[in-house]
């Protein structure tokens, strides 16, 4: 029997296109129905054309429907993929610009800290509505979430609903490939154990053909051309002894070491690190540029004569094939609640650990304790996320102030009174997006 896979937030053109391509590489899913849902009809029209182009190029028996009605997309679905953004760039730009005014220099702002927390406050109610629709229209479906802030959204959904949900990020496999390339190892010969929290998980083991490869990585990062690719993460590795997931631009925000003074930003966060994490507004400028160019980029892709049908590196398709396809076991790193998984992180918080997908669903794998010094940093961030989620669910602004009081970067820059003033200003500019809060003090 053919399966139905729903994309909520399908207007994320590049991402949806790539995931559909990957899904259709699995024979058991090639006759599926792809249900595309987005509130933006123009984007929805473009992505429907793109999916049709992929289906035609692969001569697949798949079908595609497009709708602005979430219920229609979800009815009878076996799998759901979520890639939504609540509020456009003109809303979330304040997440970056207001902290910057107070001296908290944020680069990306989609995961944690003041920017990530306010993105979570806007997004959690919508994600819970999506989950309630899944419970109503396709209660047996699995939900794969790609929307950030990953940990806080998954923690809310997993705590408040019965939906079988996990959160997916490409930072684990992406970092593994980067490290393999640095030591000249084929990725097929690399094995690893990676665990922690989203965007701040650690490679507890990294082996090449069964042998510890960390000595080779230590040698590699001594070379300037390697060190300068990821200055923040390489500096963390040299001092902490374990490699962390997600890019230097992101990781520079999640601790107190790199962005609290202009001289440190200049030294560690400005040169040769890809997404220029030294420029707080880089991601903002990039998204503002896309506001003007996305139609041209989509049309250019649609006009191409050929379509690359080679499977990519994202987890989603392999998971769907394991659970609703041919049942082939699939191991990935997913975001789940910490019930007996990482011994020295808070019980019930959202952690990123190895998970096994099969026809039985998701089976997270026990990792044990993290090295104590890594657990310190993860604990601070995880507890701030726990407070923020609790505040989002209860409409208690005090929890939000408290979560940001203890954020590592914010607390390294501002006093308690200054943080309260900053957060109050962020509440005020976001008030139309935060119906769960009746007051902000």
Domain ranges of the chain: 4-169
Average pLDDT over residues 304-311: 91
Q: Is 362 helix (H, G, I), strand (E, B) or coil?
A: strand
Q: Across the chain, what does the average pLDDT equal?
A: 94
Predicted TM-score (pTM) of this structure? 0.95
- Confidence category of residue 273, pLDDT binned at 50, 70, 90: low
Reference 111, options 85, 147, 145, 161; nearest CA is 147
Tell whether residue 169 is among the known ligand binding residues.
yes
pLDDT surpassing 80 at residue 280: no
Residue pair 350/195 in contact (Cβ under 8 Å)? The answer is: no
pLDDT surpassing 80 at residue 368: yes
CATH topology of domain 4-169: Rossmann fold (3.40.50)
Catalytic positions, please? 170
Distance CA 131, CA 157 (A): 7
Query: pLDDT of 218-239, one tens digit each?
Result: 999 999 999 999 999 999 999 9
**Percent of the residues in the chain that have a pLDDT greater than 90, as a whole number:** 87
Q: Report in angstroms the alpha-carbon separations of 265 from 103, 171, 226, 256, 291.
A: 12, 23, 19, 12, 28
Average pLDDT over residues 35-40: 96
Query: pLDDT of 137-159, one tens digit each?
Result: 999 999 999 999 999 999 999 99
Distance CA 391, CA 302 (A): 44
And the tokens for 240? 């902490």
Residue pair 150/335 in contact (Cβ under 8 Å)? The answer is: yes
If phi over 0 gives left and psi between -120 and 50 gives alpha, with beta otherwise, what is residue 115? alpha
Residue pair 158/337 in contact (Cβ under 8 Å)? The answer is: yes
pLDDT surpassing 90 at residue 29: yes
Tell whether residue 271 is among the known ligand binding residues.
no
Query: pLDDT of 389-406, one tens digit each?
Result: 999 999 999 999 999 999
pLDDT given for residue 129 in this prediction? 98
Distance CA 244, CA 5 (A): 33
Q: What is the CA radius of gyration of the chain?
A: 21
Tell whether residue 194 is among the known ligand binding residues.
no
């Amino acid at each position: 029997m053919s399966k139905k896979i729903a994309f909520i937030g399908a207007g994320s053109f590049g991402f949806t296109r790539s995931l559909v391509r990957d899904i259709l590489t699995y024979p058991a899913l090639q006759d599926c129905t792809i249900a595309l849902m987005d509130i933006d009809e123009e984007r929805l029209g473009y992505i429907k054309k793109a999916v049709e182009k992929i289906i035609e190029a692969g001569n697949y028996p798949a079908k595609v429907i497009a709708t602005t009605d979430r219920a229609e997309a979800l009815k009878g679905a076996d799998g759901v993929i979520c890639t939504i953004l609540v509020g456009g760039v003109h809303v979330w730009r304040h997440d970056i610009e207001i902290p910057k005014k107070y001296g908290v220099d944020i680069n990306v702002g989609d995961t944690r800290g003041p920017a990530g927390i306010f993105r979570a406050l806007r997004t959690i109610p919508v994600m819970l509505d999506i989950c309630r629709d899944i419970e109503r229209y396709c209660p047996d479906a699995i939900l794969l979430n790609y929307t950030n802030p990953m940990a806080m959204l998954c923690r809310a959904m997993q705590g408040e609903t019965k939906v079988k949900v996990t959160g997916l990020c490409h930072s684990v496999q992406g970092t593994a490939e980067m490290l393999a390339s640095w030591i000249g190892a084929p990725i097929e010969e690399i094995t690893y154990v990676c665990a922690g929290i989203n965007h701040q998980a650690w490679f507890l083991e990294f082996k090449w053909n069964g042998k510890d490869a960390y000595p080779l990585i230590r040698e590699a990062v001594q070379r300037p051309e390697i060190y300068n690719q990821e200055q923040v993460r390489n500096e963390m590795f040299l001092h902490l002894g374990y490699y962390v997931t997600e890019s230097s631009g992101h990781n520079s925000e999640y601790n107190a070491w790199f962005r609290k003074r202009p001289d440190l930003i200049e030294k560690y966060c400005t040169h040769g690190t890809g997404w220029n994490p030294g420029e707080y507004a880089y991601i903002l400028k990039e998204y503002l540029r896309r506001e003007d160019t996305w139609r041209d980029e989509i049309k250019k892709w649609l006009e191409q004569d050929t379509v690359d049908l080679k499977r990519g590196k994202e987890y989603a398709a392999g998971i769907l094939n394991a659970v609703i396809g041919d049942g082939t076991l699939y191991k990935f790193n997913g975001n789940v609640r910490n019930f007996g998984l990482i011994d020295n992180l808070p019980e019930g918080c959202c952690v990123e650990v190895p998970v096994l997908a099969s026809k039985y669903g998701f089976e997270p794998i026990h990792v044990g304790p993290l090295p104590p010094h890594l657990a310190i940093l993860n604990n601070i961030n995880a507890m701030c996320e726990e407070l923020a989620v609790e505040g989002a669910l209860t409409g208690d602004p005090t929890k939000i102030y408290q979560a940001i009081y203890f954020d590592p970067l914010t607390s390294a820059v501002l006093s308690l009174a200054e943080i309260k003033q900053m957060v109050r200003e962020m509440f005020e500019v976001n008030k139309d997006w935060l119906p769960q809060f009746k007051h902000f003090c």
